[in-house]
Each structure stands twice: as structure tokens, then as C-alpha cells.
Chains A and B, each alone.
Chain A
Amino acid sequence: AQKVTQAQTEISVVEKEDVTLDCVYETRDTTYYLFWYKQPPSGELVFLIRRNSFDEQNEISGRYSWNFQKSTSSFNFTITASQVVDSAVYFCALSATYNTDKLIFGTGTRLQVFP
């Protein structure tokens, strides 16, 4: 069965600290996609990144970076020098090749960044 686990329910940091959000997934498929979404207080989930299973290169986008490791089935998300505007719920999600249009979401990690 496919599953996404975000073990961290809530994380609190002070502004400018670095923070890593963990995501561990389970799938038997060899081809799949992984996603991260941000849900700010407004409620709408916003796409952050997609990664396919054949691309294990880490990615950096400004203060955001993602570490994809197939050996440990993890797709972790790091925010460098966190800011108050980063406060949100972050979701990791997995798609499957047999049904690439359906996403399986983790339970989310609530990040609070204090000034």
C-alpha cells in the first residue's frame, strides 16, 4: 500500500533559524512523483515542488531546498533562514504510476516561525 508519513506534527522556530520538515513514503511502484505543498492561513494549498523518482538530484529554490533519497524513501524539505511568512502547514504527497492523477497526502506539519 502507498503511504506518506510526516512524523512531525508541529514545529516552532525563531526567525532566521533553519528548519527541516521530514517526509517518508512507501510505494511499490518504480516510477512515481513526490510533491510538497504549502497551506498558509488563507487555506489554499500552494504547489512548491514536484520530483520524479528517477531524479535524485537535490533542488534549491531561494531559501527552500529539497533532499530526495530513494535509499531511505525520504523527501525532506529545508527552509533556510526562516521567516514569519513561512508559517503554514506543509504537506508532502505521493502519486502512483498506475493512477498518476491521484495523490496521497501526508498528515501535514504545522510550522510556526516566531519573530
Chain B
Amino acid sequence: DVKVTQSSRYLVKRTGEKVFLECVQDMDHENMFWYRQDPGLGLRLIYFSYDVKMKEKGDIPEGYSVSREKKERFSLILESASTNQTSMYLCASSVTGALNYGYTFGSGTRLTVV
């Protein structure tokens, strides 16, 4: 069964900490995405990557960075966590140019910054 795996389901961090959210996919997908989900705002794109070492900003990149050193892994980094980054974070992947099924999503990481 193909999968997108997010390393943590729940995470609690302190303000100012550097936070790493990890995402791994086993489908050999070229594209990977990070979204955050907030009530009333839906899914908002933070960053995405079309290839190893490639990254592009999404709609809300401020306060975040990403790393894609290997095709299967896409990391989201909160350089200095703040309380307004408390949210559900969803990772997704897809095949380039073949949106037959859209994205495959991970189960999400619920991050609380205190």
C-alpha cells in the first residue's frame, strides 16, 4: 500500500524552538507539498518541491523553510516557532503531470507551540 508518512502525529514545542517536521513517501513521486490546515481557512500551501533540491514558495511561506535532499523525503522547518504556527500540518505527494488521483496525503502532524 502506497504511503506518505509523517514522522509525528502530535508535537508540542516551545516558542523560539527550531522545529523539524518530516515527511517520507514511498511512491517515487517527483512532487511533494506542505500545507497547513486551520479552521475556516482550509488548506494553505506553504512550500512545494518538484524535484530533489528544488523548492518553491507557496502562499504562506513566511516563518518556514524546507529541505529536500532525497526524492522520498521533504522536511518542513520552523526556524523559530511561534504560537501562531500552532496548526495541523499536512504533507502530500504527486506524480508530475499526472493528476489522476490528485495528491496522496499523510495523516498530518498536529503541532502546538506553547
Contacts and interface: CB of A to CB of B under 8 A. Distances in A.
A103 B102 contact: yes
Report the interface size class on chain B: 20 to 34
Contact of B101 (A42, A50, A91, A108): A50
B94 A47 contact: no
A107 interface: yes
B59 to A, nearest CB: 9
A57 to B, nearest CB: 17
Interface stretch (B15-23, B41-49, B77-85): B41-49
A100 interface: yes
A55 interface: no
Contacts of A101: 31, 48, 50, 94, 96-97, 99
Given A43-B107, A45-B90, A101-B31, A91 B43 contact: yes
- Of residues A42, A43, A50, A95, which shows the largest number of chain B Cβ atoms within 10 Å of its Cβ? A43
A47 B101 contact: yes
Contact of B40 (A9, A42, A43): A9
A93 interface: yes
B99 A44 contact: no
A91 B94 CA distance: 17
